[in-house]
């Protein structure tokens, strides 16, 4: 006689399989967490460039076709928002202790306080672009991002950096066209800010053939503790380099950002938080970096930093940019 399993036994077997799968998921998650904590403790011994080369090589990992592996991958991604076939996503989700998760609001302009913030931008002197053969184009896709108590904004940072670069005989221009006006004219939402700044970048490239580098200056939206460094009795707003991975030539942008970040940290350790590589849903993923391999997106501090703290950081970045550009054999070509 054939023996048939009762429905109760079948349900018990399914529960056991599910339980085993959940245990396996937790083991893998715990292993990943401990591994990245270990790497975090060792990170001072690995340069940003080497670290990201390793990560990018791992990113080419092809998942097994086995259904159980795919199920495990999807389950882990759903629970932890980490795709283990794309290791760099672990950095994006902040599992690594010193990686800050950036909310989607960093990719859009906030119009709730537009009237209040607009006057800050209008107080900036826009008559500083009468320069010969500029090689750096400074701009702000999100011009209304302000600092503590709405005193100073990212557009002001662009002008501060321009003035500091003059001390090193490096000419630059600051984009003074109103991006919000471009959005209004075209009836675009705030999320189209990068589309608007793209128009201005291409226009600048057409008008200034000498341009070699392009820096989009932002500020982060996370708390003061994550965006501030105090060392040698001076307080700085930390820098964070954002690189979009959703275009075929992102390696050039990544290489430049990594090099500049490493140079900054050699001058003032931990001033740069490193690289935030972004792709996937709810992020731009390109940030106009496909226009040129020398496009940088830099977040100067956060919403709680003072303009003075940002200015201290501008001093360091201007030094580093000067050193890099003067050593770049392609800069004069």
Per-residue pLDDT tens over the stretch 130-184: 788 999 999 999 998 999 988 899 999 999 999 999 999 999 999 999 998 999 9
d(CA 197, CA 174): 12
- Are 138 and 175 in contact by the 8 Å Cβ rule? The answer is yes
* DSSP code, position 247: S
- Are 177 and 139 in contact by the 8 Å Cβ rule? The answer is no
Higher pLDDT, 99 or 265: 265
47 pLDDT higher than 50: no
The pLDDT of 101-117, averaged and rounded, is 44
Q: What is the pLDDT of residue 90?
A: 44
pTM equals 0.67
Could you report the per-residue pLDDT of 268-291, keeping only the tens digit for each? 999 999 999 998 888 889 999 999
33 pLDDT higher than 90: no
Beta bridge partners of 302: 220
Beta bridge partners of 234: 231
Among 61-65, 224-228, 254-258, whose mean pLDDT is lowest? 61-65
DSSP 61-83: PPPP--HHHHHHHHHHHHHHS--
The pLDDT of 198-219, averaged and rounded, is 97
266 pLDDT higher than 90: yes
Q: What is the pLDDT of residue 25?
A: 81
35 pLDDT higher than 80: no
* Nearest Cα to Cα of residue 322 among 264, 271, 272, 275: 264
- Are 194 and 289 in contact by the 8 Å Cβ rule? The answer is no
Higher pLDDT, 241 or 130: 241
Q: What is the pLDDT of residue 61?
A: 42
| Sole residue written with tokens 């490193």 | 274
CB burial readout 301-312, b (16+ within 10 A) else e:
bbbbbbbebbbb
Q: What is the pLDDT of residue 71?
A: 57
Decide the pairing of beta strands 272-278 and 234-237. Answer: unpaired
Q: Which two tokens stand for residue 204?
A: 């600048």
Higher pLDDT, 11 or 174: 174
């Amino acid at each position: 006689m054939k023996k048939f399993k009762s429905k109760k036994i079948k349900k018990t077997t399914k529960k056991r399989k599910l339980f085993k799968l959940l245990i396996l998921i937790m083991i893998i998650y715990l292993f990943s967490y401990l591994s990245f904590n270990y790497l975090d403790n060792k990170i001072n011994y690995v340069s940003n460039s080497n670290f990201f080369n390793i990560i990018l090589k791992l990113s080419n990992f092809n998942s097994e076709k086995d259904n159980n592996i795919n199920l495990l991958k999807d389950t882990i991604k759903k629970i932890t928002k980490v795709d283990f076939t794309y290791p760099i996503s672990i950095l994006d989700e902040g599992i690594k202790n010193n990686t800050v998760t950036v909310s989607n609001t960093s990719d859009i302009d906030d119009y709730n306080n537009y009237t209040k913030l607009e006057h800050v931008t209008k107080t900036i002197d826009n008559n500083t672009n009468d320069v010969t053969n500029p090689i750096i184009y400074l701009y702000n896709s999100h011009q209304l991002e302000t600092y503590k108590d709405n005193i100073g904004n990212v557009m002001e940072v662009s002008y501060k950096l321009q003035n500091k670069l003059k001390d090193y005989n490096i000419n630059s221009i600051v984009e003074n066209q109103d991006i919000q006006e471009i959005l209004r004219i075209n009836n675009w939402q705030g999320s189209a800010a990068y589309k608007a700044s793209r128009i201005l970048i291409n226009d600048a490239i057409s008008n200034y053939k000498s341009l070699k580098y392009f820096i989009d200056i932002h500020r982060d939206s996370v708390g003061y503790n994550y965006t501030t460094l105090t060392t040698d009795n001076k307080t700085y707003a930390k820098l964070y380099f954002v690189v979009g991975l959703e275009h075929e030539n992102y390696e050039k942008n990544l290489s430049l950002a990594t090099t500049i970040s490493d140079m900054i940290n050699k001058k003032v350790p931990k001033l740069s938080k490193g690289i935030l590589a972004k792709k996937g849903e709810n992020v731009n993923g390109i940030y106009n970096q496909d226009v040129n391999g020398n496009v940088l997106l830099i977040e100067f501090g956060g919403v709680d930093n003072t303009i003075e703290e940002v200015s201290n950081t501008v001093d360091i970045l201007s030094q580093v940019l000067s050193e890099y550009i003067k050593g770049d054999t392609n800069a004069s070509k």
